[in-house]
Amino acid sequence: SQQGEEDPQALSIQEGENATMNCSYKTSINNLQWYRQNSGRGLVHLILIRSNEREKHSGRLRVTLDTSKKSSSLLITASRAADTASYFCAGPQGGKLIFGQGTELSVKP
Amino acid sequence: IAGITQAPTSQILAAGRRMTLRCTQDMRHNAMYWYRQDLGLGLRLIHYSNTAGTTGKGEVPDGYSVSRANTDDFPLTLASAVPSQTSVYFCASSAETGLGTEAFFGQGTRLTVV
């Protein structure tokens, strides 16, 4: 009963390219969050977008939200090798914070 | 440094043994969560707590129990461990329950049940 499903499951790009990850969710939400996880570490919050927002920026990150399609996307521009990590979307479901399965991003130098 | 602390960082446990994973936060957050992470399955919610004194079941609660006697601590207990509980366990906290506040994660406990 995961709230979000990420696509693709894995993504491999060259340094300098843009990376786009998508998240589709099941139920109506009032916000959606994106997290990053480096290998073997805990998750770190990246950005939160609320249901009344269409787009939000934070540095090289751009997040969009389409509530009619129940989908969100995370764009990382001008990727760096240090961006290599897993990225997860998460949304509220019945008062709980539920995560998707994640996208594993590999940025090759 | 404020944050969320888990202990132990790793453990090898014999099947059938009882084990408590500890989680403490010093941010005075109301909500706390326990997740397990398995390869290919992302993070799955085990149990959660909206505030001290209350707990709720997540996606995969069977075989686990939690308590929330105070704001800071949220221990997770495996009453009788089984090999399928081999996983990495993450504790997290947020100011409110899934209502648009950032969740902070511990560094995880790697548990192997043999």
Instruction: Find the helix or strand (DSSP H, E) in which B93 lies.
Output: strand B87-94
Gap between the Cα atoms of B24 and B71, Å rounded:
9
CB-based contacts of A80: which residues, under 8 Å, 6+ apart?
A15, A107
Q: Residue B105: is its pLDDT beyond 90?
A: yes
> By mean pLDDT, which of A6-10, A72-76, B97-101 is the weakest?
B97-101
Q: Are A15 and A80 in contact (CB under 8 A)?
A: yes
Gap between the Cα atoms of A92 and A85, Å rounded:
23
Average pLDDT over residues B78-100: 90
Task: Give contacts of A 72-101 with B, CB under 8 A.
Answer: 88, 90-93, 95-101
Considering chain B, what percentage of its residues have pLDDT values greater than 70? 96
Q: For chain A, say whether B50 makes contact (Cβ under 8 Å).
A: yes
Q: What is the residue-wise DSSP string for B42-90?
A: EEEEEEEESSTT--EE-SS-TTEEE--SSSSB--EEESS--GGG-EEEE
B14-49 pLDDT, tens digit each: 999 999 999 999 999 999 999 999 987 789 999 999
A54-87 pLDDT, tens digit each: 999 999 999 999 999 999 999 999 999 999 999 9
3-state secondary structure of A81: helix
Average pLDDT over residues A25-51: 90
Task: Give contacts of B 70-89 with A, CB under 8 A.
Answer: none
3-state secondary structure of A12: strand
